[in-house]
């Protein structure tokens, strides 16, 4: 059966039907894998990659190399979208606030793993092969690649867990910038490695100039794209749907031009997002939110393809040993470097303690540099580097997202990136009951004097009426009292049952606040009684109660963010 499916999905003829079936399979199975892993309390991105491994080169080969190559533009689009959204987090105000912290952590978390990987991998390689020059070259090249951190898996975990705080802010800045450090290190060490191995790789100056050209032109192209979107948005004004279409179109155009000119498309998209969030004349929050909602299916395709590329069966014992040493040395270097950089800049305690958990992911830049090394040194260390980076990408892409989730969870930043709309959608009536004092109901045979006394002691403009067995029978509003007072002495003989109106609108504790707000609007009421499944009175909910609840929740989030940003380092105990 599997062979028949593989044959049906053969891309030799590039059949439109096969193309659509492959996309359907990837989206369906990838989403299913992400859902299952989320139920297991694991990051859904690990589920996407696991499905890719299962149906790709390691597993059933439903996605062969030809299919993966054909779908490679999806990876470029996904990385551009990630770059665009990461750029949106790089506000100038944030960079000014965390600039010193960013720089120190970036340098130490990039250079420390370079040193540890270069030394340990070179040492192990020499002990096995007894070839000093090739071992030094191998260590230096892998050390440069170890500096890069993949933003894709990291940002996916942050978005899934709605994180916000100093760790999240610093992490986004680091993963956006350490690729540039890896490129510069690679340019330097590839020249050294070329001398050791007797292969020409071009002068150091020419490689550094090429990197400067790439960074400069990529950034300028992204800023130009941001300027274009800004002009279009001013012309379109409040048509969010059309602005979204233009934004996606410009991102795709930027990606295509970048690939054609062999530029860094992630950096270009990041520069576009940076320009818009800092210099655009229109409100940008909604634009980034809408683009973010467009990304989930693209991310599923991207990460399934990442897993499908991996072939763990082609790894020999020597490569496996070097891969393990590389992962351990890189992890140690990232941990020590990030912690030291945070400590010397007096960064918040959460950054110092938990940043080390969030820098393990590795993918695009490291793989790209390994391919460059393969082309530069095809007869010496090139094939070894490609195998090691491929194997370690498999390891860290599975471990990395889990580590990121652990770090942001321990830092207390999960669930802090929410809006009022998110709170309304996720909250229930029972959440407000936990905050509000339960309003005492009136008995249906309460006298008019008792009703007046109850209203005089409460802030609410209405009061529920219950029977002797606490079943809701109606509600008395302030308008009912006004009408009764017009009756004069006759009102003194009335009971609560005579004054009340039947409760035609009620809700239950598990009812969502979104539904309750709609009930307020459609029924034109200010108060809605809350009842249990058997009609027993539970409480009341008012529009102002909802407003007070959200105001309180927003204040709590701000207070928690403020507390996270404080440095809480304690003096050492003697």
Does the residue 4 lie in any domain?
no
Residues 444/466, Cβ–Cβ less than 8 Å: yes
Residue 475 lies in a domain: yes
Task: Quickly tell me which residue has 């321990």 as its tokens.
Answer: 410
> Smallest Cα–Cα separation from 258: which of 87, 88, 79?
79
Taking only the tens place, the pLDDT of each residue in 38-81 is 888 777 877 888 898 899 888 888 888 888 888 888 888 888 88
**Which class for 482: exposed (0-12), middle (13-18), buried (19 or more C-beta within 10 A)?**
exposed
Q: Does 236 fall in a domain?
A: yes
Last residue of a domain, which of 417, 441, 471? 417
pLDDT at residue 491 in the model: 78
* pLDDT value of position 568: 46
Judgement on whether residues 201 and 111 belong to the same structural domain of the protein: yes
User: What whole-number distance in Å separates Cα of residue 80 and Cα of residue 84?
Assistant: 6
Residue whose pair of structure tokens reads 């498309």 in the numeric block = 265
- Give a yes or no: residue 60 inside a domain: no
Residue bearing tokens 């070259």: 137
pLDDT over 90, % of the chain: 18
The pLDDT of residue 364 is 66
In this structure, what token pair is assigned to residue 213? Answer: 């050209």
Same domain membership, residue 368 and residue 238? yes
Q: Which residue did the predictor score with more confidence, 420 or 269?
A: 269
Q: Residue 201 has what pLDDT?
A: 59
User: Using one digit for the tens of pLDDT, what is the confidence trace for 9-19?
Assistant: 554 455 777 88
Output the pLDDT for position 571.
37
Alpha-carbon distance values, 414 to 152, 163, 361, 407, 411 (Å): 18, 4, 19, 10, 8
Of 384, 417, 450, which residue sits at a domain end?
417
Question: Quick one: 320 and 277 in the same domain?
Answer: yes
User: Please, what sign has the CA dihedral across residues 15, 21, 22, 24?
Assistant: positive
CA dihedral in degrees (413, 417, 421, 426; nearest 10)? -30
Return the axis-axis angle of helices 240-260 and 204-236, rounded to nearest 10°: 160
User: 448-465: string of b/e by CB count within 10 Å (b at 16+)?
Assistant: beebeebbeeeebebbbb
337 and 378 share one domain: yes
Give 492-544 pLDDT, tens digit per residue.
888 888 888 888 788 888 888 888 888 888 888 878 888 888 888 888 888 88
CA distances from 511 to 122, 424, 432, 460, 522 (A): 62, 11, 11, 21, 16
Handedness of CA 446, 447, 452, 457 (dihedral sign): negative
How high is the pLDDT of residue 570?
40
| Residue 21 placed within a domain | no
pLDDT single digits (tens) 217-234: 988 999 999 999 888 877
Picking from 68, 131, 122, 198, the residue whose alpha carbon sits closest to that of residue 385 is 122
Predicted pLDDT at 572: 35
**What's the rounded Cα separation, in Å, for the pair 231 and 281?**
9
User: Are 411 and 459 members of one domain?
Assistant: no
Residues of the domain holding 185: 77-296+315-417
Please tell me whether residues 130 and 170 are part of one structural domain. Answer: yes
Give the dihedral of Cα atoms 494, 500, 501, 506; nearest 10 deg.
-160
Handedness of CA 383, 387, 390, 392 (dihedral sign): negative
Average pLDDT over residues 255-282: 86
Whether residues 323 and 225 share a domain: the answer is yes
Q: Give residue 151's pLDDT.
A: 79
In a domain, 251, yes or no: yes
Which residue, among 119, 163, 109, has the nearest Cα to 360 in the 3D structure?
A: 109
H runs (alpha helix) in 377-512 = 382-410, 420-426, 429-435, 448-456, 478-485, 496-499
Residue length of the chain: 574
Q: What's this model's pTM, rounded to 2 decimal places? A: 0.70
Residues 492 and 379 in one domain: no
Residue 457 and residue 287: Cα distance in Å, rounded? 48
> Which is more confidently placed, 240 or 569?
240
Q: What is the pLDDT of residue 115?
A: 95
CATH number at residue 547: 3.10.580.10
Structural domains of the chain, count? 2
Listed residues 417, 444, 468: the one ending a domain: 417
Torsion of CA 42, 48, 53, 57, to 10 degrees: -170
Range list of H helices, 237-316 = 240-260, 265-279, 285-294, 296-309
How many other CB atoms are found less than 10 A from the CB of residue 486? Answer: 8
Cβ neighbours of residue 271 closer than 8 Å, sequence gap 6 or more = 87, 218, 219, 220, 221, 222, 223, 226
| 17 within some domain | no
Statement to judge: residues 522 and 411 lie in one domain: no
Please give the pLDDT value at position 32. 94
For residue 3, name the pLDDT band (cuts at 50, 70, 90): very low
Residue 178 within a domain: yes
C-alpha to C-alpha distances, 91 to 96, 173, 269, 307, 429, nearest whole angstrom = 9, 10, 15, 33, 37
- pLDDT attached to residue 136: 92
Average of per-residue pLDDT across 97-102: 79
CATH number at residue 211: 1.20.1530.20
Other beta carbons within 10 Å of 205: 10
Contacts by residues 119-123 (CB-CB < 8 Å, ≥ 24 positions apart): 119/329, 120/325, 120/328, 120/329, 121/322, 121/325, 121/326, 121/329
Phi, psi of 155 (to 5 degrees): -65, -30
407, 358 Cβ separation under 8 angstroms: yes
Same domain, yes or no: 484 and 370: no
428 and 390 co-located in one domain: no
Distance from first CA to last CA of the chain, Å, rounded? 69
Say which residue the tokens 């892409």 belong to.
397
The mean pLDDT of the chain is 82
| Same domain assignment for residues 84 and 183 | yes
- Residue among 393, 416, 421, 398 nearest 564 (CA): 416
Answer yes or no: are the C-beta atoms of 9 and 24 closer than 8 Å.
Answer: no
Largest CA distance in the chain: 111
């Amino acid at each position: 059966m599997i062979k028949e499916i593989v044959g049906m999905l053969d891309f030799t003829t590039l059949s439109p039907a096969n193309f659509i079936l492959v996309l359907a399979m990837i989206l369906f199975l990838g989403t299913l894998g992400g859902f299952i892993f989320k139920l297991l309390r694991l990051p859904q991105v690990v589920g996407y990659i696991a499905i890719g491994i299962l149906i790709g080169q390691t597993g059933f080969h439903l996605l062969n190399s030809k299919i993966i190559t054909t779908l490679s533009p999806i990876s470029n689009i996904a990385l551009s979208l990630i770059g665009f959204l990461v750029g949106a987090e790089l506000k100038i105000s944030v960079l000014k606030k965390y600039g010193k912290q960013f720089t120190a952590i970036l340098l130490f978390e990039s250079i420390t793993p370079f040193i540890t990987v270069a030394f340990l991998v070179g040492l192990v390689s020499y002990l096995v092969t007894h070839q000093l020059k090739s071992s030094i070259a191998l260590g230096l090249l892998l050390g440069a690649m170890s500096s890069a951190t993949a933003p894709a898996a990291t940002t996916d975990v942050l978005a899934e867990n709605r994180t916000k705080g100093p760790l999240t802010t610093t992490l986004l800045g680091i993963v956006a910038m350490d690729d540039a450090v890896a490129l510069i290190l690679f340019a330097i060490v590839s020249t050294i490695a070329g001398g050791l191995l007797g292969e020409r790789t071009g002068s150091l100056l020419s490689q550094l100039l090429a990197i400067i050209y790439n960074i400069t032109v990529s950034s300028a192209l992204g800023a130009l794209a941001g300027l274009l979107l800004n002009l279009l948005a001013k012309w379109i004004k409040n048509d969010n749907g059309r602005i979204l279409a233009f934004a996606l179109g410009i991102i795709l155009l930027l990606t295509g031009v970048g690939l054609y000119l062999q530029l860094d498309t992630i950096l270009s998209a990041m520069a576009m997002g940076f320009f818009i969030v800092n210099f655009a004349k229109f409100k940008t929050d909604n634009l980034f939110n809408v683009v973010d909602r467009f990304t989930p299916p693209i991310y599923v395709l991207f990460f399934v393809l990442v897993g499908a590329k991996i072939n763990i069966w082609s790894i020999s014992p020597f490569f496996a040993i070097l891969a393990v040493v590389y992962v351990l040395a890189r992890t140690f270097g990232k941990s020590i470097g990030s912690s030291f950089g945070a400590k010397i800049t007096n960064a918040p305690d959460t950054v110092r303690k938990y940043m080390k958990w969030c820098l393990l992911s590795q993918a695009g830049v490291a793989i790209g540099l390994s391919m460059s090394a393969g082309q530069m040194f095809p007869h010496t260390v090139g094939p070894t580097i490609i195998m090691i980076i491929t194997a370690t990408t498999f390891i860290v892409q599975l471990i990395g997202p889990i580590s990121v989730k652990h770090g942001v969870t321990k830092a207390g930043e999960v669930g802090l990136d929410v809006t009022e709309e998110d709170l309304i959608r996720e909250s229930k009536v029972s959440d407000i009951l936990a905050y509000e004092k339960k309003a005492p109901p009136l008995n249906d045979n309460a006298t008019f004097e008792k009703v007046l006394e109850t209203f005089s002691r409460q802030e609410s403009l209405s009061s529920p009426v219950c029977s002797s067995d606490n079943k809701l029978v109606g509600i008395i509003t302030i308008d009912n009292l006004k009408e009764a007072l017009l009756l004069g002495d006759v009102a003194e003989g009335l009971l609560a049952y005579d004054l009340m109106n039947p409760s035609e609108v009620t809700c239950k504790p598990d009812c969502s606040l979104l539904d309750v707000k709609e009930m307020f609007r459609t029924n034109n009421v200010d108060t809605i009684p809350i009842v249990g499944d058997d009609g027993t009175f539970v409480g009341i909910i008012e529009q102002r109660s909802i407003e007070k609840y959200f105001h309180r929740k927003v204040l709590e989030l701000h207070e928690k963010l403020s507390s996270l940003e404080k440095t809480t380092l304690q003096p050492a105990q003697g």
